[in-house]
A = this chain, B = another copy of it.
């Protein structure tokens, strides 16, 4: 295993990652499963909406002009017509001087252009007495007033909200084409790991990265496989890297320069190791490479360092692919440091921050500190940190 001669700059690694294209084919999913997915193509209405003029209120369909002058003191009588005038299969004409009972949402008969709500109408022996006038168009929704057939409703790249699903359903979509979610394979390397919740031998630690990486991949729009432990043998790792079905591999552990550190060599054997050893503290042993169509991230085995490597290297890539657009858009919070940050020169420092009264505060290193943090700041290589009182932008962990 070669020693790290020099650490590649994070900027150079991100530049390489930006150049890695991944083809995510379109898949068609039922609307019921489409929330949060990213629309693959512009959605044009398959049908207009509303599909016909209809009542917005329960009441009586009328010709608005017939109601002129109606009031509580001078009710206007209209001849009540049979309900069959309105309804699903019929569009018979509503003649002048007549009214027909309609429920909200029901189709208006031809000729009707307004609805008198129930509260302003009394039925008496085949006549409806109106105690209020309505103008044409009142309490009525017109055919196509929301959108027309063929109109572009939503554009490609949009993450579908609950409201979008209603819009698409009303426009006739039962299913919709969305980008495939990037499939994420999680490989846990390294010896001395006990399954959390089980027994732990002397010299063993509980494995703590698998559930975390899976949750992070889901958070960023990926579709994680169940994490796998990879035995020590390099051949097993090479095989897991070459196996089809993943767009992205997160390999945690075995990233260093030690005797058991097989990750980089296995990536080089299976495909291409682009960089190993990155000037990113505390994830210096991270690396990136490519095996066929799959982009591989080598991450440190220490869970806190693994998190740093994921957030700094993999999260922006996964979010871009999963269609989030900008990597940090809407995920930044500006604030003032209430304590100084000290950073060493020569490497980007991943600095977790916590919101506190008055601003942001760096947290102590380790998992407990990380859990208490709300986001992070990357301190550039050529910066020795920031004094208390500096205004900084924190990238939030949770969207």
Number of copies: 2
Across the interface, do A371 and B153 meet the contact criterion of CB distance under 8 Å?
yes
Across the interface, do B211 and A31 meet the contact criterion of CB distance under 8 Å?
yes
Across the interface, do B368 and A307 meet the contact criterion of CB distance under 8 Å?
no
CB within 8 Å of B: which A135-179 residues: 145-147, 153-154, 161-175
Decide yes or no whether A210 CB sits under 8 A from chain B: yes
Q: Which of B49, B107, B215, B367 is A367 in contact with, Cβ under 8 Å?
A: B49
Q: Kindly list chain B residues whose C-beta atoms are within 8 Å of the C-beta of A165.
A: 208, 211-212, 215
Across the interface, do B368 and A301 meet the contact criterion of CB distance under 8 Å?
no
A206 touching B31 in the complex, CB below 8 Å, given contacts A58-B261, A105-B192, A215-B161: no
Q: Kindly list chain B residues whose C-beta atoms are within 8 Å of the C-beta of A87.
A: 203
Across the interface, do A205 and B31 meet the contact criterion of CB distance under 8 Å?
no
Q: Kindly list chain B residues whose C-beta atoms are within 8 Å of the C-beta of A34.
A: 211
Tell me the bound Cα distance from A103 to B300 in angstroms: 12
Tell me the bound Cα distance from A346 to B172 in angstroms: 36
Decide yes or no whether A66 CB sits under 8 A from chain B: no
A103 touching B164 in the complex, CB below 8 Å, given contacts A169-B207, A196-B170, A366-B146: no
Across the interface, name the chain B residue whose C-beta is closest to A254: B103
Across the interface, name the chain B residue whose C-beta is closest to A373: B163
Decide yes or no whether A106 CB sits under 8 A from chain B: yes
Decide yes or no whether A96 CB sits under 8 A from chain B: no
Decide yes or no whether A197 CB sits under 8 A from chain B: yes
The 0/1 profile, CB within 8 Å of B marked 1, for residues 220-264 of chain A is: 000000110000000000000000000000000000111111000
Across the interface, do A105 and B190 meet the contact criterion of CB distance under 8 Å?
yes
In this complex, how many residues of chain A approach chain B with their Cβ under 8 Å: the count is 98
Decide yes or no whether A8 CB sits under 8 A from chain B: no
Nearest Cβ in chain B — how far from A46, in angstroms? 9
Q: Using a CB–CB distance below 8 Å, which chain A residues touch chain B?
A: 3-4, 31-32, 34-36, 47, 49-52, 56-58, 87-89, 91, 101-107, 118-119, 145-147, 153-154, 161-175, 190-192, 195-198, 200-216, 218-219, 226-227, 256-261, 285, 300-304, 307, 366-368, 370-371, 373, 397-399
20 residue pairs A–B, Cβ–Cβ below 8 Å:
A4-B119, A31-B197, A34-B211, A35-B211, A35-B218, A35-B219, A47-B200, A51-B204, A58-B261, A88-B204, A89-B203, A103-B256, A104-B285, A106-B203, A147-B366, A147-B367, A162-B211, A163-B397, A169-B208, A171-B206
The 4 closest A-B pairs by CB, nearest first: A174-B197, A103-B258, A88-B203, A35-B215
15 new A-B pairs (CB below 8 Å) besides A161-B215, A162-B397?
A: A4-B119, A31-B211, A32-B214, A36-B215, A49-B367, A88-B192, A88-B203, A104-B300, A104-B302, A105-B190, A162-B215, A166-B367, A169-B206, A172-B196, A174-B195
